[in-house]
Amino acid sequence: MSRVCTVCAHAERHAIEKLIVGGTPNRRIATHHGLSEAAVRRHAAEHLPVALVKAQEAEDSAHALDVVKQLRHINAAALTVPRDAKAAGDGELMLKAIDRVHKQVELQAKLLGDLDDRPVVNVLVTPEWQQVRAQILAALDPYPEARFAVAGALQC
Ligand SMILES: [Zn+2]
C-alpha cells in the first residue's frame, strides 16, 4: 500500500530539502514543518536523490545546483573542525568532526553520483576525497588507536 509522502507534498519542500542536505537533524526539521521524523528520514533516503535527478532532467536545475552548492559549503565548514580540534588537542571533538565529514562525503557522493551522467563514479579516487582522507589521517597522528580504526573504516 503506497502512502503520499508528506515532505513531497509539502509547500516548503525545497526549503526542507536544503535543511536535510545542510545536516539539520531530522527531528528538528520535522518539528519546524509539522512533519513526522520518519517522513523526513524516508524522504531524505528515498526521494531526495530522485528529486534532484528529475529537476536536472526537467532543466529545472536551479534547485539541484542550489542543493549541491549548499553541500559544498557545508563540506568546507566541516573540514575546518578537525583542524581546530587538532590545534586544541581535543581528540573527542576531532573524532566527532571526522565522523561528520565522513557522513557528509558519503552524502555528497550519493547525490553527485546520482546527478552524474557517467556510468561509474568511484568517489574513492576523486581528488576531493583523497584530500579529505589525507587531512583526516594527518589530524589523527597523535591518536594511533583512533587512526588505526579510522584507516580501517576508510579502507586506506
Ligand atoms: Zn518525499
Closest CA to 131 of 153, 156, 152: 156
Read off the pLDDT of residues 73-88 as tens digits, 9 standing for 90 and up.
666 666 676 777 777 7
Closest CA to 48 of 35, 64, 28, 61: 64
In this prediction, residue 9 has a pLDDT band, given cuts at 50, 70 and 90, of very high
Query: Is the pLDDT reported for residue 5 higher than 50?
Result: yes
Read off the pLDDT of residues 97-156 as tens digits, 9 standing for 90 and up.
777 777 777 776 666 665 554 444 455 556 666 777 777 777 777 777 777 777 776 664
Cell of 81: 573542525
In which region does residue 109 sit, left (phi positive, over 0), alpha (psi from -120 to 50) or beta (all else)? alpha
Residues 95 and 136: their CA atoms lie apart, in Å, by 9
Cell of 2: 503506497
The CA 95 to ligand 1 mean position distance, Å, reads 32
Residues 85 and 129: their CA atoms lie apart, in Å, by 20
Place of cell 528538528: 28
Which residues lie below 8 Å from residue 56, measured CB to CB, with a gap of 6+? 64, 115
The CA 5 to ligand 1 mean position distance, Å, reads 5
CB atoms within 10 A of CB 34: 9
The CA 114 to ligand 1 mean position distance, Å, reads 17
Angle between helices 127-139 and 61-88 (to 10 degrees): 20
Read off the pLDDT of residues 52-111 as tens digits, 9 standing for 90 and up.
666 656 555 566 666 666 666 666 666 676 777 777 777 777 777 777 777 777 776 666
Percent of the chain with pLDDT over 70: 61
Residues 23 and 15: their CA atoms lie apart, in Å, by 13
DSSP conformational letter for 63: H
Question: What is the model's pLDDT at position 124?
Answer: 56
The CA 7 to ligand 1 mean position distance, Å, reads 5
Question: What is the model's pLDDT at position 30?
Answer: 96
